[in-house]
Amino acid sequence: MAGGTTSERTGAKRLAAAAQWWRRALSYDGDERDTLLVIGKSTLAAALAWLIAYDLIDARSPAFAPFSAVLIMQVTVYRSVVQSLRYVGAVVAGVLVQAALGFLAGPDLLTFVLVALIALAIGRWRVLGVQGPQVATAAFFAFSTYTSASADSQRFFRLGEIVLLVLVGCAIGTAVNVLVAPPLRYRSAEYGIRSLARTLHDLLADMHPVLAEGVPDQDTTGGWRVRAARTEGLIGQARSGLAEAKESLQLNPWRLSRRYRSHPGFQGYESVLGALERTLYQVAALTRGLDRSREEDEARRPFLRRYAAFLESVGAVAEVLTTLDETTLLPQAKRLERLTDEAEARRDEVVEETRRLSVSLADPSAPYGILVTEATRLLEEFRYTCQVLLDVARDVERSP
């Protein structure tokens, strides 16, 4: 009975997860909808390629066409075109290698070894990129086709048919990718910014309550340093997402649509991403400053309480960026401006506290100077981010 209950619960959870996945896919743009689009477009391209190869051309190996159509269905139109050209070049090279050696030496084992050796060497050519291994694959298929034919004329025809089917498949795959919901991945830039902002917000949300209680211990500050250092990978992912978003515009007909013409563009996102990157580096420096000195004294407690309030206000600024959305840029930018003003007021309170306590900002044994400096730099980056978003949002508002 218990086992059956557990199984039923597991099944119910899986059904709920599947239902939630479909709701996300049908409700808004995202990874789920992108997955459905790729599957649907690949299926359409494969079906059309098979129809042409099997019914119109009456090919002996029609599967080459749908295989090629699906293989070059890439995440961006530009990448589909580039990979299609490389794939065709790889297949043609492989077929030519086999044809040259086959007709010269005949279909024996030594010929196959030479074909494999030369095809694998050509496949290392950097121009072919990830399609390099297709040189050997095409050569092997061509060798098999060559050995199964009885006459030279039949062998020429079948080798030519392989190239023709690959051309048909690539042409259909590229055409479907261009004409049917061409992928415009500008949201990848937003996702990267949101991810970095969430990381920054979560780190600050953990730091300010601890600082409000007093001087953190070594394990705590060490943990903060480790978390700050791990952001290098996230920054790389965000940069990659921005590059993919830019690439998605190349050769994409949707870039001419009114929706894209009113899009904020990538220059603003790149500026925001750069500011976030610098902010994370400064938070890392801030954690190193806190880790440098953990000596307990009465002067540091009020200073750290003020600094905790500042970090809390900075976290509120970062939280706005976790929901960055092109459709609400202007209200988000205005809210960011207001929160940045509040964070600046908290920073001024930190500076005033150091003056009231007469603590030295240049004392190497205490982190006051480092923390105040990093607070100022954090504010500068958020102020810059705020201005960038305001400018971009106003440009969008003025666009037709």
Q: Using CA of residue 115, residue 116, residue 121, residue 125, what is the dihedral sign?
A: positive
* pLDDT, position 260: 47
The mean of the pLDDT values for the chain is: 80
What are 234's two structure tokens? 């996230």
Apex CA 389: angle with CA 245 and CA 338, to 5°?
Answer: 145
What are 72's two structure tokens? 């070059």
Long-range own/partner contacts, residues 216-221 (CB < 8 A, 24 or more apart): 216/290, 216/294, 217/294, 218/291, 218/294, 221/287, 221/290, 221/291, 221/294
**In contact, 243 and 163? CB cutoff 8 Å:** no
Q: Look at residue 54 and tell me whether its pLDDT is greater than 90.
A: yes
Identify the CATH class of 187-398. mainly alpha
Q: Look at residue 258 and tell me whether its pLDDT is greater than 50.
A: no
Say what the pTM is. Answer: 0.56
* pLDDT, position 251: 59
Q: Per residue in 128-185, pLDDT tens?
A: 999 999 999 999 999 988 888 878 888 889 899 999 999 999 999 988 887 887 655 5
Rounded to whole angstroms, the Cα distance separating 177 from 193 reads 27
Residue 73 three-state SS: coil
CATH code 1.20.58.220 region(s) in the chain: 187-398
DSSP 101: H
* pLDDT, position 50: 96
* pLDDT, position 242: 66
* pLDDT, position 187: 56
DSSP 363: -
Q: Look at residue 58 and tell me whether its pLDDT is greater than 60.
A: yes
**H helical segments located in 123-186:** 133-148, 152-179
What are 278's two structure tokens? 């610098």
Confidence of residue 1 (pLDDT cuts 50, 70, 90): very low
Exposure string over 37-59, b if 16+ CB within 10 A, otherwise e: bbeebbebbbebbbebbeeeeeb
Exposure string over 245-260, b if 16+ CB within 10 A, otherwise e: bbbbbebbebbeeeee
* pLDDT, position 6: 72
Q: Which residue has the tokens 């952001």?
A: 231
Rounded to whole angstroms, the Cα distance separating 186 from 243 reads 9
